[in-house]
Amino acid sequence: MEIWFKRVAAGALMAGLALMSGAGQAQQYPSKPVKMIVGFAAGGPTDVVARLLAQHMTASMGQSVLVENKTGANALIATEEVSHAAPDGYTLIFSSLSYNVNAILMPERVKYDPIKSFAPVTLVATLPQLVVTGYGSPFNSVKDIVAQAKAKPGTLSFGSAGNGGSAHLAGELFKNKAGMDLIHVPFRGNAPALAEVMAGRISFMFYPSIGVAEYMAAKRLRVLAVGWTQRNPDFPGVPTMEELGFPGFEATAPWLGLLAPAGTPDAVVQRLAAEVNKVLALPEAKERMRTLGGIVIGGSAAEFSAFLKQDYEHWSRVIKLAGVKGE
């Protein structure tokens, strides 16, 4: 009995020390700048939201939160790099749906496990997509795109941030639902793809709603449809894809979230989650996200972890439906 008691006491002591250690880590963290890696080009939707978070987190945490863009392979390069980073909370990935989609499309190439290789921090927002075309384009409606694509198969193109990204998946879904022959043109991020759409060299694309109103005001873009379950008040008169006879495009809306390498101390993960949620509760941050077209979510690390598992299953179904293949 005495031996058993000593063992229990020793176990309780170790657990207490672990909790004290975790609390100490949370109090000491961060003691140096934190890197937030974005796998897409500067100026794109993921980058814009990451920089909004980083700005406020820097002020709140007392250390610089630095956004670094490492583009390529639909964020695969950046994600794999962070998966091998030290699990100390100083190298993070601000990710989107490519996190799960890459693993589904290219299981033989992806060198991380979306369930085991990361410690989810928090889900930040979701970004409903819009069908956009250049302001000087001949398309005034989705119907115009469908008519032109069917009249001249293989002549229209749609842009994306890369194979397997939200814009690519939405474009493939649209192509299949409308029975069109379209050319997919991938770029190293949404921003360069959108630039080509505005220049008229790409026919159209599905683009997250962030920043689109500003391009419309500058007469550089025309919005033809909203890929969500309801109309967007920032784009009065613009119909949803469902209204146009193409339901299900809300499924292609990308999410944005923060993750750390697996093994990052729970106390650090919880501190990061608290800091992100603190930013998302700021009136000025809420208003900025609203003007950008994002829908703020937030929440706990556990909730984000559960979401990621559901998201993996969801995209597995969407990719199969759209017939998308890895490159």
Burial 112-138 (b: 16+ CB within 10 A, else e): bebeebbbbbbbbbbbbbbbbbbeebe
| Residue tagged 């759409």 (tokens) | 197
pTM, to two decimals: 0.79
Secondary structure class of 278 (helix, strand, coil)? helix
Domain range summary for the chain, segments of one domain joined by +: 12-126+254-322, 129-252
Tell which residue, 119, 121, 116, 89, has the closest CA to residue 103: 116
Render pLDDT for 155-213 as a digit per residue (tens, 0 to 9): 999 999 888 888 998 999 999 999 999 999 999 888 899 999 999 999 999 998 888 88
Say yes or no: do domains 12-126+254-322 and 129-252 share a fold.
Answer: yes
Distance (Å, rounded) from C-alpha 29 to C-alpha 108?
36
Q: Is the confidence at residue 2, as pLDDT, over 70?
A: no
Tokens standing for 101?
């989609």
Distance (Å, rounded) from C-alpha 293 to C-alpha 238?
14
Question: Cβ distance 205 to 171 under 8 Å?
Answer: yes
Render pLDDT for 23-57 as a digit per residue (tens, 0 to 9): 555 568 999 999 999 998 898 889 999 999 999 99
Distance (Å, rounded) from C-alpha 57 to C-alpha 275?
6
Residue type at 251 in one-letter notation: A
Secondary structure class of 176 (helix, strand, coil)? helix
**Can you give the length of the chain in residues?**
327
Question: What's the CATH architecture for 12-126+254-322?
Answer: 3-Layer(aba) Sandwich (3.40)
Torsion of CA 236, 239, 241, 245, to 10 degrees: 170
Burial 24-57 (b: 16+ CB within 10 A, else e): ebbeebbeeebbbbbbbbebbbbbbbbbbbbebb
**Alpha-helical regions (H) of 114-265:** 142-151, 166-178, 190-198, 212-217
* pLDDT on residue 320: 81
Q: E strands within 176-297?
A: 183-186, 204-208, 221-227, 255-261, 295-296
160: left (phi over 0), alpha (psi -120 to 50) or beta: beta
Distance (Å, rounded) from C-alpha 327 to C-alpha 123?
28
Render pLDDT for 58-116 as a digit per residue (tens, 0 to 9): 999 999 999 999 998 889 999 999 999 999 999 999 999 889 999 999 999 999 999 99
Domain 129-252: state its class: alpha beta
